[in-house]
Amino acid sequence: MKKNNSSRIVVIVIFVVAAYFIYGYFGPAAKKMDEKTLKTVQIRDDFDKLNNQLWYAGQWLTHSPADDKVFFNKGVASLEVKEKDKGPYLLSRPIAIENYDIIKIRRRLKVHYGSDYFAGAMVVFDSENADLEPQIGLQLPFGRAVVMLEYAHDYSKNTKRPGKDAIRLLAPDWQVNHNYVLVPPIYDKWFDEELVIDNNSGKATYTVNGKTYSIDSAGIAAKYFRIWMHGYGSHVGHRVDVDWLEVTLTSAENEAVRQ
């Protein structure tokens, strides 16, 4: 009996010691992994000047560099069309999605149209390309469109998009599946907006003026995503001013903790 008891004690001691070393090795690593997963990443630009590490300034149609066509004044970036079909745009660098499944894009902007056809926009693309410059010559030089916000004053006879005067929240399948929402337009005054792409829920939501709108979203499937902003329209006089922009990468788990 004493021998059996001694054997049991030895087994228990070995088990406790093994458990201690296993926890000591894996416990902190697992904790660090959880912290890494839950850590929120933010990228912000207050547009005091052109940040060439974050943005590629390009020109419509040619996609050639257009640093001199985007103007910065007192912390505001102005995308103004002064030459027909030669308006500027800002295209963000490819931002790694990694393990994050929720992307929030917030910004403060002001929109002005100069003719009966205006379709300034902010579009999110996903891409496997890590280069800052767009892949000129390809059918999809920025990547695959994920969701689009279009600030439309659109009285063109040839338009196929829904709504004449509206902010359009559009998914790529908007025409086939009617996967879009029309939001009351806001012109010539500052407003804040938030666009959220949730890979976990399969939704994209847009919040403006205290109201939230939602569409189905295929989400970001590639390694990177990019943000494209412009003030395109027919003729000249169109303008989109951006005061600041903030991108947040987070996770469903992190959002649950915050709630």
Average pLDDT, the chain: 87
pLDDT in the model for residue 137: 82
Q: What pLDDT, on the 0 to 100 scale, is given for residue 11?
A: 37
Which residues sit opposite 107 in a β-bridge? 193, 245
Q: Which residues of the chain have pLDDT under 50?
A: 1-3, 5-36
Digit-coded pLDDT (tens) for 117-143: 999 999 999 999 999 999 988 888 999
Q: Distance between CA 251 and CA 225 in Å, rounded?
A: 16
Cα–Cα distances in angstroms (integers) from residue 212 to residues 8, 15, 76, 120, 163, in the given order: 63, 55, 26, 21, 18
